[in-house]
Amino acid sequence: MTSLTWENRGTPDDVLAIDDVVFAPSEPNPGSALTITITGTTGQAIAEGATVLLEAKLGLIKLLSKTFDLLQEIRNGSQVSLTTGLDDTGAIPAGWVELVVSFDPLPREIPRAKFTVMADARTADEDDLFALYFTCDLTKK
């Protein structure tokens, strides 16, 4: 049985206040699809230039460290989508937000191990957007 957990590592000053993170399925496996739905509320529009630093680790070994342009990823629609849609200026509008991140499929080559993933997002002005920490334990069957 796979174990997936999340933790909000943001601050009360974050632009996007995270309400919930839902994994589907709740017990993913290598070679199968995984969808992560992040919901929350923002008090201001999130404009062009917002970034997400994604770091994945296997124990102390850093497997990935990459910065993504959040709005560009949403516009591309390959792995990240915004249920509420972008506003007329191309920004994420203020209010309720639902981000959906899809991995279809997860690579089959993922070893049966415990991984941690940190997502640290910033606005174009370098203000804290949100910070999430995930653990995925694939050692359990």
Q: At the fourth CATH level, which superfamily is domain 3-137?
A: Ganglioside GM2 activator (2.70.220.10)
- What pLDDT sits at residue 130? 97
User: What is the b/e burial string over 78-116, where b = at least 16 CB atoms within 10 angstroms of the residue's CB?
Assistant: eebbbeeeeeeeebbbeeebebbbbeeebeeebeeeebb
Separation between Cα atoms, residue 100 and residue 77, nearest integer Å: 10
- What pLDDT sits at residue 2? 55
Q: Considering the entire predicted model, what is its pTM?
A: 0.90
- What pLDDT sits at residue 141? 59
Domain boundaries, the chain: 3-137
Tokens of 30: 């290598």
Q: Is the pLDDT of residue 97 over 70?
A: yes
10-37: average pLDDT: 92
